[in-house]
Every structure is written in C-alpha cells, then in structure tokens.
Amino acid sequence: MRARPDWRACIGLAALILLAGCAPTLNLEAERLPSHALSSQADSPLKTRLAARIPPGESGFHLLQEGHAALAARLALAQRATRTLDAQYYLFHNDTTGKLVAAALLAAADRGVRVRLLIDDIDTADKELGLAALNAHPNIQVRLFNPFHSRSTNLFVRGWEALRERTRLNHRMHNKVFIADGQAAITGGRNIGDEYFSAGHDLAFIDLDVLAAGAVVDSLSRSFDEYWNSEAAVPVSALPARPSDARLERATARLQAFRAHELDSDYGRALAAADPVPGLLAGTTPWHVARADLIVDPPEKAIKRSKSPSKLLLGQLAGLWLNPTRHALIVSPYFVPGATGMAYLEYWRSRGVQVDVLTNAYAASDVPIVHAGYANYRIPLLEAGVNLYELKPVAEPIGGRLRDLHHGSSRASLHAKTFVLDDTQVFIGSFNLDPRSMLLNTEMGLVIHSPELAREVTAIAEDAMRPERSFRPRLIIRTVDGLIERRLQWTDVDEGVARTFDVEPDTTPLQRGLLRVLQALPIEGYL
C-alpha cells in the first residue's frame, strides 16, 4: 500500500521556501577594495614606548589570564593607538564588554585612527544595523566572514539556508586577534563578550590570551590582511541595512555615555586596577622576550575543502618538529583527539612522555554534544596512560587563584586553548583539539619558545588540575563472570574530604542518559 503524502509537511516546506525567497539578501556585488596594514616602521608613541622595553628584532609576551586584565589591555591598546586598529573575532556580543570595545573603536576612529573590524557571520543576525552604523564612520570598515546570503532574522529561514549550503556555512572563522598600530597585539581564546571577561553572572569562561609586541606582530598583521582581503570577507555595505548619519551620531553618543557610566562603576574600577599595559610600557612589569612562530589556517579553509593538509594549522604545527621527550600538557575545553590525535598521544606515551590533559567536566561544558565525543575516548586514553583532569563547574577557593570567584557566578567553564611541551614551548591560541578546529573552522595561535612563559602556563594549569578544582577520571578493570569489564571512576577533594564517584559527577540521570545517546551518534567529524 502506497503511503499518502503528508500535505501539511509539503505546504510547510513550500511556505518556508517562499519565506526564504522573500527575505532580504546580501549584495554579493558590493565593492571590495583591498587594504593592508600600514608599515610597522613608521613612528608612533606606542612604538617608541615598546622599543625601550623589547630589543630590536625580538618579540615580547605577557600572559592575560584574568578576565579584567584581558579586557583592560584591549581598551588600553585602543586608547593608545594613533594610526591603526585591526580586530578579528568569531563572536562580538552586544553586551557590556561588547559595547565597551565598540566605544573604544569609535573613540579611536574619532581621533583619526583607521579601524578595521572583521567578524564571523555566525552570530550577527540581530546586530546588522549596529554594524552598519559603525561602518558608516569614515574611519571604520567592517566586514563579515563567510556570511549567510539571506539576511532574515527568522531562525527557520537561516536554518533552511544552513541546510542548503551546509558545506560552506559549516566552516567558520574562529580566529581572534586585536592589533594596535602594528606594534602590539592580543590573541588567544577570548571572543568579545561578558562571559570571557568576568562581567557575566550566569557563566564565566576560564580563558587565556597573550599580549604580544615586537617582531611577531608583523606576522599577525599579515594574517589579518590575508583574511580581510579574502573572497570570504564581505563588506558590511553589502547588507540591506542602511543607517543614516543621525543614527551613527545617536549610536556614538549612546556608546560613549555607556562607556563613561561603566568605567565609573565597580566593574570599571576593577578594569583600571587590573590594566597591565601601563606597567609593561613603564618597565615595572617585565616582558617575556622570546622567539615565536605564528601558525594560522589560510582563509580558504572555510570555502575550499581541497586545501593541502600541510598548509593547515596542524600541518604547520607538525612542520615545527615539536616533539616532546619528557612532558606534554594539553589544555582544551573541547577535547576529541580522533584517530590522528590518539596516534600522537599513544606514540608519546610509548616513549615515556608524561601526557596530562585538562578539559571540561560534563557539568562544566557549555557544549554537551562535544563532551560526548570526548567521553568515547576516555577509556582508550586512560589505557594508553594519559592523565585526564576534568574541570569542575564551581571550584573550591583554596588559595592561589585560577580565576576570579566573586560575583556569585553560578557556573564556570574552561575555554582556554593552550599546550606546553617539555617546559620550553607553549602554544596559545584559538585551536581546540577536536575535529571542528582541525578540519572545519579556521584557527590561529602562537608557538612561543620560552621556558619562563611555559612554566607560567604550566603553573596555571596545575592549579586548575588540583583535586579541589578538577575531577580525576581513572580506569577500573575487573573480571565479572569470566569477562573483563572496564569502567570509569572519578575522584576529587571537597572541603578537605576525598570523594569517589561511580557515575559522571554533578549530573542527573537524565543528563547521563542524554550523554549515552549522544555518544552513539556518528557525528564526531562535526564536533
């Protein structure tokens, strides 16, 4: 018997297609004038101050661990820029920190600084008019990377386009960099949003950036230019939004009023107190002077799947011949090693290398489906002798400081992406050790050859791996009815008391059931 067609579904699909056809669209013929970083050899106050601290031809680095310091450093660079500001981000929220950064960019543009802002289009549907207003400033240019062609805010319409163009739209620009005058830059794991800078109340990301100055900034500027001038970067002038001059004036006035109010608040005073830039420029805070390599995916990775693996970030990393002989420390919030990653880890372990991995516990992860991918590898990792540590959603304050625990944040989540090899080389960037970072999204990071910086990052990670702050999975092997059974246990310390868990800690039966379902799905390549 033939099944009857579901006319309601057909009518719904037809309505969706009609709605998508009526939605405003991107003007793909919009003019794309190339532009490039201005010469870093030109004099500027920032260059003069940095030259007194960092030897010619060398690079200097300063870790930005705490959220207040990380935002304050960006605002400080924007305030000191006299020639150019280039900013490239995956997410740029319209919240407190997003408005503070936007206000800083506008203030710089009003002083005559050329501002270029490149944002991935994954989260701009409700921000088009604001971005177009920024772009209307004569000294500001805004571009969207790999944009949706339909500009409807309707989730069904955007979902339909995402389904039709899933190959292209599943590839995103995950890079993060903020460059002032071609002299100083910040890169690492943070997007622009409250949760990254200790300004949120529901979720606080534990993250890591590095402030870089000197020779390596030229490489970061060239990378920005490559993305800015790529065919995937579309000017915001292509959007259907058409803000008036009056709207730009109103937006500027509102942002500057908001900035003045926030900087006079408790949060603003915390930013001022945490700002590392004055001390670094004055010489009271030392730089880590070291050699560094920028490794970055080409922008074509997001639009051409045939890119040679040797040209991708992982291939560039392999080309540096970083091969630990004693210790490998990996910090990745989303950790799904895959066959290639497992081969590396097992090879290192076979040579006696200690391998420690810090990632999120299920209760701390902001993306449970990725945790399911990681969960499938826990037993093979433990069998190989890899040490696993899973950061708790709320850490016990036991002295020292992994993160700022005040403001009553209900949940913390690891977001830093870093690894240290043999206490001599440290990677800091946007790259997660998962299939999405390896194969789909574009990523970037710095490999810094500095034992001092490596020790500093290791100390931060080891503080996070303490049993008061992380669960420690371990493998239990026993024989039941002649069959070998492998299962997991977790241990930690809570208020001085050692605990053992036979199920995923801080989870409900429903959450654990969902995890088992997600683990069974064949979706690892998209995580």
Q: Could you give the count of Cα atoms lying within 13 Å of 515 in the half-sphere of its Cβ? A: 21
Catalytic site residue from 68, 171, 176, 288: 176
Is 417 catalytic? The answer is: yes
**Structure tokens, 167:** 């190959």
The single residue listed with the structure tokens 């605990």 is: 499
> What type of residue sits at position 217?
V
Is 174 catalytic? The answer is: yes
Strands in 82-176 per DSSP E = 84-89, 114-120, 140-145
Cα 136 to chain centroid, rounded: 28
Catalytic site residue from 415, 434, 463, 492: 415
Q: Where are the alpha helices (DSSP H) in 417-492?
A: 435, 451-464
Q: Apex CA 16: angle with CA 168 and CA 119, to 5°?
A: 35
Catalytic site residue from 417, 434, 463, 492: 417
Dist. CA 472–CA 475, nearest whole Å: 10
Instruction: Report residue 526: phi and psi, to 5°.
Output: -105, 0
Catalytic site residue from 123, 404, 422, 506: 422
Dist. CA 320–CA 92, nearest whole Å: 32
Dist. CA 478–CA 323, nearest whole Å: 35
CB 183 within 8 A of CB 158: no
Instruction: Report residue 501: phi and psi, to 5°.
Output: -120, 135
CB 91 within 8 A of CB 191: yes
Is 415 catalytic? The answer is: yes
Taking the CA atoms of residue 90, residue 335, residue 195 and residue 160 in that order, the dihedral angle to the nearest 10 degrees is 50
Which positions ≥6 away from 74 have C-beta within 8 Å?
A: 101, 104, 178, 186
Q: Is 29 exposed, middle or buried (0-12, 13-18, 19+ CB in 10 A)?
A: exposed
**Structure tokens, 518:** 């997600």
Which positions ≥6 away from 159 have C-beta within 8 Å?
A: none
Would you report the helix, strand and coil content of the chain in percent, each value rounded to 5? 40, 25, 35
Question: Could you tell me if residue 457 is left (phi over 0), alpha (psi between -120 and 50 degrees) or otherwise beta?
Answer: alpha
Dist. CA 117–CA 94, nearest whole Å: 15
Which positions ≥6 away from 424 have C-beta within 8 Å?
A: 449, 450, 451, 454
Instruction: Give the residue numbers annotated as catalytic, written as ranges.
Output: 174, 176, 181, 415, 417, 422
